[in-house]
Structure 1
């Protein structure tokens, strides 16, 4: 049975369905996302806080953040969620059409992941997306654009405070690189992504990093991830297979090789 389904390529409307086992991973949230948890449990962690969403919960995920996730199916059904992505182009068009602008210089300092109150408008909107994911028919781009605009309108009516987030089109500003990296080293992303999120070009990021840590970013990331893995295994009693993804390695064999090279023993011998 197919474990996941997205109704159409490049569609802003996505449906996730997992039947058999937990799914873990991470992603870069490049766009704002409005989601509804149909069944199962979703756990998100952005390095600062953990969020748990149960069946019936609505969530709004802000753009430009790194997120780890665990999708846990319900024993009797499955993990199911439906999401609509609010890309910058659609939000700019909406801003022009309806004269919606933020009055702030930068986006307000609020939670990066928000649990929204259940209101009839949100529930009926999510129900209206079901034909977009269940029917084997072509959904035109015009129809998809209408649903995106409807989602924006409902969000603004139900949560007016989101206006200053939705219509903030600024790119990430220059932030404290040292603090950011110490909080986010366990995300397995390319250096250019770290550079972007700290408000720097890749060249400036590497130069600032070398000045702050006196080591290259790549070497520092490996050392930091291995140190955290050693701590988790020795002090928390976790197994290598539980740790390697958590600290930012892509696969267990690479993790084990790097760990042995760093500490002189395989992780299973700690």
Structure 2
């Protein structure tokens, strides 16, 4: 169960249940957000970062992001997010004559020091949780301009805010091996790797000798097989993480690929991990 109130730029979000990857993983616009209560687990190819209550994060546009939002006991997960849309940033850049020094090369998600000024800023948005209709488009625009000015107290953030360049052409093979579990359209994979859709498909076929759809499915299912057999993971815990929209679709695709149901594989995997049991002997007794 969740509630969300959004004007043009400001999102007030409250979630009472744990929501695994409960949003489009593609970040269309940069934003700054603070966790008012609860915590968030950020899943990446090389691990998980947990952001506790009070974390203030700056997130760059044009990236893929997986987040599990968790309530804290009786307190819901709640955030205030201010979107830094390209149109707004370009208007600010022109009006105040502030420009990037070059292409942004920092982290796509970074923690911001939550000092007295930023704390005061986000506290000023709290009353709108109770009366979201009071946050008019004019006020939301003014609050967005205010947070841009507050962020610019750190000159190093100029490139983050005002680098308006599109993604450059990346190493497609490395990128896809790192991001295959994200469930996004091919058009977004193409954009993120600096290609048109037709160029993306052509380069993909040259590198992988198959179509993107077939390769993505195979990679996700092979990772699922590894997680179930070697890490003793439950299918219900991993299907979203691997980019499948439903557990039933995941189960069907898995059986078609490996000729074995996830349930049967899970039983064998658990038996293998029991102390004093031999995998093959038990497999024979279960067949």
Q: Find the aligned partners of 2:2 and 2:247 in 1 and give their Cα distance.
A: 24
Deviation at 1:47, TM superposition (A): 3.2
Q: Could you tell me which residue of structure 1 aligns to residue 238 of structure 2? A: 243
Q: 1:238 to 1:225 in 2, by over 3 A?
A: same
3-state SS in 2 of match to 1:5: strand
Report Cα offsets for 1:15-60 as digits up to 9, x if no partner: 22122x3111152111111111111111112435532211112111
- RMSD between superposed Cα atoms in Å: 1.3
Q: Find the aligned partners of 2:46 and 2:142 in 1 and give their Cα distance.
A: 35
Pair 1:259 & 2:257 matched = no
3-state SS in 2 of match to 1:133: helix
3-state SS in 2 of match to 1:212: helix
User: Which range moved further: 111-120 or 128-137?
Assistant: 128-137
Q: Find the aligned partners of 1:136 and 1:70 in 2 and give their Cα distance.
A: 25
Q: Could you tell me which residue of structure 1 aligns to residue 273 of structure 2? A: none
What pairs up with 1:163-182 in 2 under 5 angstroms? 163-182=158-177
Checking the alignment, whether the CA contact within 8 Å between 2:100 and 2:158 is kept in structure 1 is yes
Pair 1:86 & 2:84 matched = yes
**TM-score, structure 2 as length reference:** 0.88
Q: Could you tell me which residue of structure 2 aligns to residue 111 of structure 1? A: 107
Checking the alignment, whether the CA contact within 8 Å between 2:35 and 2:80 is kept in structure 1 is yes
Q: Find the aligned partners of 2:11 and 2:47 in 1 and give their Cα distance.
A: 25
Q: Which ranges of structure 1 fall in alignment gaps of 5 or more residues?
A: none
Q: Find the aligned partners of 1:156 and 1:173 in 2 and give their Cα distance.
A: 25
What pairs up with 1:1-270 in 2 under 5 angstroms? 3-8=1-6, 10-19=7-16, 21-25=17-21, 27-48=25-46, 50-104=48-102, 106-108=103-105, 110-157=106-153, 159-270=154-265
Aligned residue pair count:
263
Deviation at 1:14, TM superposition (A): 0.9
Q: Find the aligned partners of 1:230 and 1:217 in 2 and give their Cα distance.
A: 20
Report Cα offsets for 1:110-146 as digits up to 9, x if no partner: 2111111120011000011123332153433221111
**TM-score, structure 1 as length reference:** 0.94
Deviation at 1:66, TM superposition (A): 0.4
Q: Find the aligned partners of 1:163 and 1:92 in 2 and give their Cα distance.
A: 12
Checking the alignment, whether the CA contact within 8 Å between 1:15 and 1:82 is kept in structure 2 is yes
Q: Find the aligned partners of 1:129 and 1:53 in 2 and give their Cα distance.
A: 21
Q: Find the aligned partners of 1:260 and 1:34 in 2 and give their Cα distance.
A: 42
Report Cα offsets for 1:213-256 as digits up to 9, x if no partner: 00000000000000000000000000111111111111011111
Deviation at 1:267, TM superposition (A): 1.1
Q: Which ranges of structure 2 fall in alignment gaps of 5 or more residues?
A: 266-287
